[in-house]
Structure 1
Amino acid sequence: MTTFPRDEEAPDAPAAPHSLHIRTGGVLDYDTSTAFLVRVDHALGKRPAHVTELHLDCRDLETIDSMGLSTLLQIHRTATRHHLALHLDNRPARLERMLTVTGTLDHLTRPAVAEPTGSPADPAASGDEPRTGTDEPVM
């Protein structure tokens, strides 16, 4: 069973007014990941508007399975949608290895990149104009 702290914010988190700190521990797996995701969503829902970073303190994380990894990816998507940079702090070796083996380490830990303002179907969003000339064969 996952051991969560009594408080949603990590008690030993540095006082940074632009950061939200959430501590996780124990097991993040099929049985516990939904509760953790709800907890993170709840904390994000009541965060002050000036918060720009979400820090998950993983120092006490004992085990993580594929559902736990899926939960971290969902939290990343949610953080990105809210324009928050996600930080996985104090990653234990087992988490580091899982992220490396699955190829998600860079995705979950690199700095957030601003998304284009247009929709993906909008040529202006990518900077590419549709080709209308006959200089290239159509296949």
Structure 2
Amino acid sequence: MTALPSPLLTVTAEEGPGWVRLRLTGDLDYDTSSELVARAMEQLAARPGLDELYLDCAGLEMCDSMGVSALLQVHRDTAARRVRLHVEEAPPFLDRIMRITGIDHLFARQEQKDRRPARGAGEEGPSDPHPSPTS
């Protein structure tokens, strides 16, 4: 793994045959969004046979409109190279942002039942704050 430090965002790359995972830790915002785009572009340029790019968002603390813009830019760059882009372990705030902005359909996502509980979530109470009537 290679850690690429920033005062507010750390992007760590992990790779395997045909895939790369970028682990994001910290804030994805005006000051750091260009770093995510640059790291994703570096991986795409260095690995022309790449099939899958994963963004592990479990360590994200916040995301503003420039962070959303960075996610869209990474989506455009991967789509242009026919690389499937995944968002993994999105914190609830990122899920909400992606749903409200209408971009959630652009990213391959894990099934809700396979996701780990949000950080700080207790063991009591429902895992889905909006259970369906048939639950």
TM-score above 0.5: yes
Q: Share of identical aligned residues, percent? A: 37
Inter-partner Cα distance in structure 2 for 1:48 and 1:82: 8
Runs (5+) with no aligned partner, structure 2: 1-6, 110-135
Structure 1 residue 2: deviation in Å?
Answer: 2.4
Task: Report 1:41-120 matches (<5 A).
Answer: 41-49=41-49, 51-109=50-108
1:18 and 2:9 aligned: no
2:21 and 2:104 map into 1 onto residues whose CA distance is: 20
Unaligned 5+ runs, structure 1 = 111-139
CA contact (8 A) 1:20 1:55 kept: yes
CA separation in 2, counterparts of 1:107 and 1:46?
Answer: 24
| Distance change in 2, residues 1:39/1:103 (3 Å) | same
Deviations 1:1-35 (A, max 9, x none): 42315xx414xxxx741211111110000111112
Distance of 1:97 and 1:109 partners within structure 2: 16
Corresponding residue number in structure 1 for 2:13: 9
16 and 42 in structure 1: CA distance in 2 versus 1, 3 angstrom threshold: closer
1:113-132: CA deviation from partner (whole Å, max 9, x where unpaired)? xxxxxxxxxxxxxxxxxxxx
Q: Summarize deviations over 1:83-117 as a string: whole Å, max 9, x none.
A: 1000001111110010011111112337xxxxxxx
RMSD: 1.7
- The runs of 4+ residues in structure 1 deviating greater than 3 Å are none
How many equivalent pairs are there?
103
Name the structure 1 match of 2:130: none
**Structure with greater strand share of residues:** 2
CA distance in 2, matches of 1:69, 1:82: 20
